[in-house]
Structure 1
Amino acid sequence: MKRWQNNIPEYLISPLTTGFRKISIGVVKDRCRIYPFFCAFGRHIDMVKNIHGIDEKLIDLLRGKNNQPDSTLFEISVALMYARNGWNVSFIPETSSEKSPDLLVEKDGEQFFVECKRQAKVTEYSETERKEWNKRWDILVQAMIAFKIPTFMDVAFKVEVANTPLTILESAFTEIVTSEMISSGYSLENDQISASVDFINMDAINKHFEDFQVSWNSPQMVALFAGGYERNGSYTQVHFPKGVNAVGPDDDDHILNLFCTGVYSAYCAKWECLSDTSIDKKAKDVRKLLGKAVDQAPEIGNTIVHIGYETLHGPLVEFERHKKIANSINTFDYKNKKVKAVFCHALQPSVGPDDSEWAETTMRFGRDGVKPETILQNDLLLDESATKIANETHWYQDLNLMVTGA
């Protein structure tokens, strides 16, 4: 496992233009997801150039697959990882007539076919759950605005979000406000949710804006409203800005260069679902991807499978997913295919108020007596300098941080 950080200073920007425009924080996170890969390609540009067939892959990355680069980025990163470990690497050209592996790697008379599979960033269930949250948030925020009290609500669902009334958050918020429980240190709790509400410290926020402008809908802006920011947290917020400054032309290519000059009022909520069913459904297994990879493995020759996925839902989901993956890979019927090792690359890009972070864990599974570490001594996709490497998963570290705060 490794982590690396990229410090992002907070800039004081001179006003250029003002206006109102909405942008999702996901745009910033997507930049964090892609940036480390291109940094790795640049650091090892000579190795990349020596990978046979790389030109076609780069064309595919820039122009192909409906502008969905994750799979191709993963394939190139796996190819570079083998090159960094001293293997001669070639991409196997795709054909329409038959399925084939992605790579052929060779070293010291040894040869492996390599098949790469990349899981979708967000599961269908996660997207459905987020939409269910938004339905309840839309009703909640109207109640927040009606009371005219800038507030932050922290919500934990004990059952699936879809199985709660649409008005459950509004009802909980109203009861907390009318019972004078805001910032009381107490939570309102029933068999479906646990919720607490705090005042948003507008004096502290206005003091901050006297000295700084804040990137629009950024983690730093959320941290101002929520009194802190958890990288694995899910936040939703609405605020009424005093002004928005744009750096660069007002077009879709400069959507990251928007800065808020101050806010009149703000309303924010953090939510999570602790339902066993929700955790199980978000902890998506890799069995289907493994099956597709094995189908593309040749009948003759040894094959290695690499599967990549992102860990976006926090430690509870990832502990459950880890168990599923280990069971699937160890019990899978590989039939007559000579799959000698499976590597699972768990990737976690995250953006905080002051920096961006990349965490990566590789899980190795050898077969037929093969030790994966003899194939790849360095089996992390990215090798940024000044990384911290530990013999534990990054979700274990995240959980430890949540429990101990250190």
Structure 2
Amino acid sequence: MKMIHRIPVSEFPNFKYEDQDVINAFLWLRSFLSDEDWNQRKEAIENKLSYDFRISNPFSEPLTEGTLLLDNNDQIGWYLYLVHTLLYEPHKYEYFQGARIIPIFKRLGMNLNEVKNIEGIQKKVRDLLKKRRAEADAILFEILTALLWVRNGWQVKFLEEGKGGKSPDILASKNNEELQVECKRQRKTADYTYKETEKRLKMVSYLREELLKHNILLDVEFHVELISLPDTYLKDLLLNKIQEIKKAGLIVSNNEVTIYASFIDINRISKYLEKNFVKNNSPQLCDLIAQKAVDYSGFTSGFSGNFFRVGEGEANNLYIAEIANAFGVNCRSMAPEAVTAKARDTKTQIMGAIKQFNTESEGVIHVGMETYDGQEVEMERLKKTSKTLESINPSETNLRYIYYHFFQAYTRPDQIWIFDETVDKVSSLKQAVFPLENSFLVVDGDDDSLMDISHWNRELP
């Protein structure tokens, strides 16, 4: 096997991420761990990220081989690692997953004194880092929600879970008014989306060698469910067409799929690589191959070339020296059945939250979810959510307000992170006066344009 060249970190561009808010939030959370504990968890993560890179045959493993997967058993450890690498070892930083986490640390750091003064925060963070390390998304959402109420002038405390019967997450009080607050965080992605992604990767795997040979870039829009098609669907449809492609344009249009093909500019990529460090599995690489900004969640690519590592070890430090051939496949699935399946309702979260409220005061629910499936899916989700709300009889519950927080994170070659947030709010009261003037958890919310349009209806950044 050909050895991969290695350069010292001193030859890596002198990049330093100096956002003091992010630094302060990281150091505060990190202070709850001993050096020994942190080093052990960091080492375990790097062992997981390290893999024996096979340079001899780029198609000897499934496309998912080597994909950077967070450790679900230590989700908060992984999130701390992402921030640590950005701050102190940027050559190891993972752009795509980091873009989801850095903005949260930014918000915590911006209001760190307020966070530290929330009653019960010490136990909440200790539980996050020790007992409930696999529940980082849910607990960070609770902390952000508590902070939101503090930023709006309320006194807030975390309530002990599982003691004294029903218990919401947070108790908020202001001017002799007391509200119970329950937090519900949806999983990042619907199970259907995972199945669809797996099917897409299998489809591409049967065709990738031919695509690579001819440096082909495909834009594919499916009109039926991907999971209803055979794994060899794209191969059966395109294998004999690829070598006949002479110019960019439409190559297939039928009831199942529409496909456009174009050619990747390898010369342009080579000139860029001569002057720039490009990391494997990075937004820079995706944009070079796609030749435009793309929705990375639906983009599959591959290439043959030469590599080098930066610094010691094998943990996420692989960079690209040369690309000889490349391919890319950008997929969208707009089948009505797929849109419906991906548009997850919040009924389970809402009904579960209602059960946590006692009868002593009115209740508020905050629901957090990430929006990676596009405008059509979010419109369908809104229909489902509205139907759920209509089914709740306000006379049978003390639920009065629901805040829906929709998040989406991006990373681009020229921006470490971009974070969008949209907030919808509903009430069971006919003439509701909502208790929060500012309802954005992560973004500042000072820009009036944030209220004008949902972020999934805007162009990709």
Asked whether the two chains share a fold, i.e. TM above 0.5, the reply is yes
Residues 396, 263 of structure 1: CA spacing in aligned structure 2 closer, same or farther, 3 A cutoff?
Answer: closer
Deviation at 1:96, TM superposition (A): 5.9
1:294 alignment counterpart: 354
In the alignment, is the contact (CA less than 8 A) between 2:248 and 2:263 conserved in 1?
A: no
1:359 alignment counterpart: 420
Residue type at the aligned position of 2:253: E
Structure 2, unmatched stretches of 5+, are 1-9, 15-51, 55-65, 71-93
2:340 alignment counterpart: 280
For residues 83-162 of structure 1, what are the structure 2 equivalents within 5 Å? Answer: 83-95=150-162, 98-145=165-212, 148-162=213-227
Residues 12, 291 of structure 1: CA spacing in aligned structure 2 closer, same or farther, 3 A cutoff?
Answer: farther
2:80 alignment counterpart: none
Q: Secondary structure at the match of 2:250?
A: coil
Deviations 1:305-360 (A, max 9, x none): 11000001111111211222223223324563211101000111112232221000
1:322 and 2:382 matched: yes
Over aligned residue pairs, what C-alpha RMSD do you find?
2.5
Matches of 2:359 and 2:97 in 1, distance apart? 38
1:170 alignment counterpart: 235
Matches of 1:276 and 1:358 in 2, distance apart? 28
Matches of 1:190 and 1:12 in 2, distance apart? 52
Indicate which of 437, 442, 453 corresponds to 1:382.
442
Matches of 1:197 and 1:350 in 2, distance apart? 26
Deviation at 1:28, TM superposition (A): 2.5
1:196 alignment counterpart: 260
Indicate which of 181, 191, 195 corresponds to 2:245.
181
In the alignment, is the contact (CA less than 8 A) between 1:318 and 1:395 conserved in 2?
A: no
Deviation at 1:56, TM superposition (A): 0.9
In the alignment, is the contact (CA less than 8 A) between 1:219 and 1:353 conserved in 2?
A: yes
Deviation at 1:97, TM superposition (A): 6.5
Matches of 1:299 and 1:70 in 2, distance apart? 28
Residues 14, 118 of structure 1: CA spacing in aligned structure 2 closer, same or farther, 3 A cutoff?
Answer: closer
In the alignment, is the contact (CA less than 8 A) between 2:407 and 2:422 conserved in 1?
A: yes
Deviation at 1:197, TM superposition (A): 1.8
Between the aligned residues of both structures, percent identity stands at: 27
Residues 12, 165 of structure 1: CA spacing in aligned structure 2 closer, same or farther, 3 A cutoff?
Answer: farther
Matches of 2:405 and 2:13 in 1, distance apart? 42
Residue type at the aligned position of 2:12: I
Matches of 2:276 and 2:448 in 1, distance apart? 32
Q: Secondary structure at the match of 2:396?
A: coil
Q: Secondary structure at the match of 1:390?
A: helix
Residues 182, 321 of structure 1: CA spacing in aligned structure 2 closer, same or farther, 3 A cutoff?
Answer: farther
Matches of 2:270 and 2:453 in 1, distance apart? 40
2:57 alignment counterpart: none
In the alignment, is the contact (CA less than 8 A) between 2:118 and 2:157 conserved in 1?
A: yes
Deviation at 1:388, TM superposition (A): 6.7
Residue type at the aligned position of 1:167: T
Matches of 1:303 and 1:93 in 2, distance apart? 17
Q: Secondary structure at the match of 1:346?
A: strand
2:7 alignment counterpart: none
Q: Secondary structure at the match of 2:385?
A: helix
In the alignment, is the contact (CA less than 8 A) between 2:297 and 2:372 conserved in 1?
A: no
In the alignment, is the contact (CA less than 8 A) between 1:20 and 1:244 conserved in 2?
A: no
For residues 255-266 of structure 1, what are the structure 2 equivalents within 5 Å? Answer: 255=316, 257-266=317-326
Deviations 1:230-260 (A, max 9, x none): 236511111123112224x3154xx2x4322
In the alignment, is the contact (CA less than 8 A) between 2:371 and 2:456 conserved in 1?
A: no
TM-score (norm 2): 0.77
1:8 alignment counterpart: none
TM-score (norm 1): 0.86
Q: Secondary structure at the match of 2:206?
A: helix
Residue type at the aligned position of 2:217: F
In the alignment, is the contact (CA less than 8 A) between 1:342 and 1:366 conserved in 2?
A: yes
Q: Show structure 1 runs of 4+ deviating over 6 A.
A: none
Matches of 1:281 and 1:100 in 2, distance apart? 32
Deviation at 1:30, TM superposition (A): 1.9
Range with bigger deviation, 324-333 or 149-158 = 324-333
Q: Secondary structure at the match of 1:187?
A: strand
For residues 40-51 of structure 1, what are the structure 2 equivalents within 5 Å? Answer: 40-51=107-118
1:13 alignment counterpart: 12
Structure 1, unmatched stretches of 5+, are 1-10
Range with bigger deviation, 300-309 or 323-332 = 323-332
Indicate which of 306, 311, 321 corresponds to 2:366.
306
Residues 139, 232 of structure 1: CA spacing in aligned structure 2 closer, same or farther, 3 A cutoff?
Answer: closer
In the alignment, is the contact (CA less than 8 A) between 1:155 and 1:272 conserved in 2?
A: yes
1:267 alignment counterpart: 327
Matches of 2:328 and 2:282 in 1, distance apart? 13
1:348 and 2:408 matched: yes
Higher strand share: 1
Deviation at 1:285, TM superposition (A): 0.8
Matches of 2:102 and 2:184 in 1, distance apart? 20
1:33 alignment counterpart: 100
Size of the alignment, in residue pairs? Answer: 380
1:236 alignment counterpart: 300
